[in-house]
Amino acid sequence: MIKSMIIILSIAVGVVISCGDNASEPFKSGDVFDRINIQDNELSLQSYVWRDFMPPTPEGGKSLYSLLLVHDCNANPIIDGISADQVWLYNGERSWSGALNRWDGSQANDTLYYSNHEGPKWEPGDHIDIYVEISFENETYILKQADVIIDRTE
């Protein structure tokens, strides 16, 4: 009952949380790539994740913050219409997913910036795998960055 209420509340605020043993991926491993090609863009994922413990944060620190850069490997401008919509984080058997927010105003035309600051409270130093759903013209792609270390600020 409590787990059902948490899922309903999470959906209401735009975040979907999936936790537990053997959490399933919402995609097939054959559909996951370190790089994808969309027209003239060869895209990869560069991720920064951390937990904030700087005062005046609550005891135990803040939730995981993710900064995700979808970057053209050849420094070509990213074509209009490419977007990142969803992120999945995997820490061993534990998993979490959430919506992404786009940062506008960047001067770099070869990089799209996304963030999420509502992640789980996993431990700094943990190694996680990050998957991001990329969309373009009714096609969906999954970019992966493996073995990302959760950092900490204090």
pLDDT tens digits for range 112-122: 999 999 999 99
Q: What pLDDT is attached to residue 74?
A: 96
Between 66 and 60, the higher pLDDT residue:
66
User: What's the rounded Cα separation, in Å, for the pair 68 and 76?
Assistant: 18
Average pLDDT, the chain: 83
Secondary structure letter of residue 64 according to DSSP? P
104-113 per-position pLDDT tens digit: 867 789 999 9
Segment 15-25 mean pLDDT: 38
Segment 1-7 mean pLDDT: 34
pTM for the model = 0.80
Maximum Cα–Cα distance for the chain, whole Å?
50
